[in-house]
Structure 1
């Protein structure tokens, strides 16, 4: 943000330098990424939520291919047995920590896409996350695919990042707001000072009012930084009148190199956190849940075989979660059994040694971009030409039928 040359209006403001100003801005939730948009009534009532699962989730122990004859041999300590799983179909079962997701599955409100990946084939968290969020094959591309989408559809959609900064997926030409809770007791005085500081600049004043509108939707009373709390507040923001209709969040902690566990343990705890957060979002959205689709995805999967410390290492193929009331609503209004939630979508490659990618990972058979394109096309009405701009050099990857 450029420094301002406007004269201060009172003695209090004369003593505020740039560092103090940034501290005040942070105190009231105003990111250094100013200016923010002013949310207007959009033409679409549909809501889209993206969740980045940072750290490479082990999809093979989330949606478990219990009927694959090689699964149990690859995971003698961390593998889950069929009787321990929540039933999905004759081949796959769901980790028992995902109880809300399993109920959604039975209600056709969630589908899982297995053996999928981005265009990335290495195993660096940093590069993998960048490619997941910029929607290209180049980790050095600095523009997020959600930002490109917002640029193309600004008359229909507004976005917000529920984050202390602005994640790569939301960075780019379109200006996107971010919100994150704080609990500083001096907040009210700081807000007054910022309001007075901004009043001499029309653009900054309008942007500051926009930020305060977001803040009024949620406040900070009782707001924690835990995922469940953030998801609940995301629902408040998205369901508010004239609020944004696209949000991006993240949940880290999926890097389970050691002591991963099976029914219980590190992965189980992560899945319980994700499951509780998803349930909180649904509850908070209320009736708007019926117009919502969520995608949760990780930068890559983990090795098919457990390692010597009862964990898994960085891999390739993984599973995506696509959920929301809009999937069930569409299912009730279509005669096509393939266009609904309640599915595991997988061109399954198998877990035998000769079928593993580079002899170690679940082989990806589905490009994540096709999954995302399908949701954007069928839920947000984004045309194929716009999808190919959102995901550059992806013309050969067609939208999958997701909804």
Structure 2
């Protein structure tokens, strides 16, 4: 079986990003084994001892990746910088249409569903963030961003290191909602991937397996063993049982947009409400690679994507109810776009970007970061003034017990101030 991730891309390097199961897991599973449950569920089993019972009430970090390189200058508009309007005569968002303005920045009008979170001090934006050196290749930039360990030969993602270093234990500690595991979760710690919560089943444990024969057989074959495969299988089978409990919770997904992102966040909310011990979740949203036809402030590609993103995140925090008090959501994209629009009223690959943070521990209602200024010249970038790892490190330090030195090895973070206590 081949696990394939496809991203919309109008760039010369191609339109598909794919990895075989062998290359994906062979490089990532440092000391463990891997098994597949059904056609869409992947569990990577670490080599440690059997997991303890799920922790309750633990903080959760949710990372939403805007695959394809979202244009941060459209999402959080620097209307106070005159070069913005000079460089984008066809696609700039008028100042009069912007939301949550502060005298220099404002949110795209399609992000209106997020304004209540902003006004409540639960949503913030960090400007001019990104990789320390520009990397305009989608695949290479995503790998670098999610490994977050330059120079390391080990293909282990920052979230996998985080859950390994966190002092919270649970048999289903990390979940990737999507078609495959992102690099951020690759590594020796146990993680699970499913496209939707309903897809998280053991292969063969379907409506015809009325007495649970399939699960019992797997448990008999592997579960009693004292070695790695035995402990790993007990962890995996326990995770499926936990997810079954989450499926049976009340379905409140009707407020979400009818989209892949909406369904992914609905599944995530149900999983977190079930309190299974999950402390890290990744969700991918595709099609942000807008080389052509980005659109206007009222219609077009950016409006559609921004509306979906804002509506899904707003519904997610409403759906969580009291669980929202322990969930922190971060958006990230592999790089930003150029300052100038191109001849097709789109934007080519750039460098700096914006990161949004929402939920628990966020000092919201504010734009953070050092603004470098824009230049209205061909191939001009938004320069990066805040390494993205400094933003993520504040989330890790504020919301987990993991050491930021372990999660981001060799990195000396700078203060951003977007998280409580940082």
TM-score by length of 1: 0.82
* Cα deviation code 1:84-132 (max 9, x no counterpart): 1113211011101111222211111111001111234120000111111
Note the C-alpha offset of 1:39.
Answer: 6.6
Task: Determine the C-alpha separation between the residues in 2 that align with 1:238 and 1:400.
Answer: 28
**Aligned residue pairs, count:** 363
The gaps in structure 1 that reach 5 residues or longer are 2-21, 328-339
1:1-400 map, 5 Å: 25-26=37-38, 30-31=41-42, 33-34=44-45, 40-42=53-55, 45-137=58-150, 142-155=155-168, 158-181=173-196, 187-189=206-208, 192-200=212-220, 201-202=222-223, 203=230, 204-205=233-234, 207-218=236-247, 226-263=260-297, 264-327=299-362, 340-353=363-376, 360-382=380-402, 386-395=403-412, 397-400=413-416
Note the C-alpha offset of 1:193.
Answer: 5.0
Task: Determine the C-alpha separation between the residues in 2 that align with 1:87 and 1:80.
Answer: 14
Q: Which position in structure 2 is the counterpart of 1:401? A: 417
Task: Determine the C-alpha separation between the residues in 2 that align with 1:179 and 1:210.
Answer: 12
Structure 1 pair 53–39 and aligned structure 2 pair: CA distance change class (3 A): farther
The gaps in structure 2 that reach 5 residues or longer are 2-33, 224-229
Task: Determine the C-alpha separation between the residues in 1 that align with 2:274 and 2:205.
Answer: 27
Aligned partners of 1:179 and 1:214 also within 8 Å: no
Moved runs in structure 1, 4+ residues, more than 4 A? 34-39, 138-141, 182-186, 219-225
Aligned partners of 1:131 and 1:139 also within 8 Å: no
Note the C-alpha offset of 1:238.
Answer: 1.3
| Structure with greater Cα Rg | 1
Task: Determine the C-alpha separation between the residues in 2 that align with 1:32 and 1:206.
Answer: 10
Task: Determine the C-alpha separation between the residues in 1 that align with 2:74 and 2:400.
Answer: 31
* Cα deviation code 1:202-237 (max 9, x no counterpart): 133552232132133126989887211210120111
Superposition CA RMSD, Å: 3.0
Task: Determine the C-alpha separation between the residues in 1 that align with 2:248 and 2:143.
Answer: 31
Note the C-alpha offset of 1:245.
Answer: 2.3
Structure 1 pair 381–207 and aligned structure 2 pair: CA distance change class (3 A): closer
Aligned partners of 1:119 and 1:136 also within 8 Å: no
Task: Determine the C-alpha separation between the residues in 2 that align with 1:110 and 1:346.
Answer: 15
Aligned partners of 1:49 and 1:246 also within 8 Å: yes
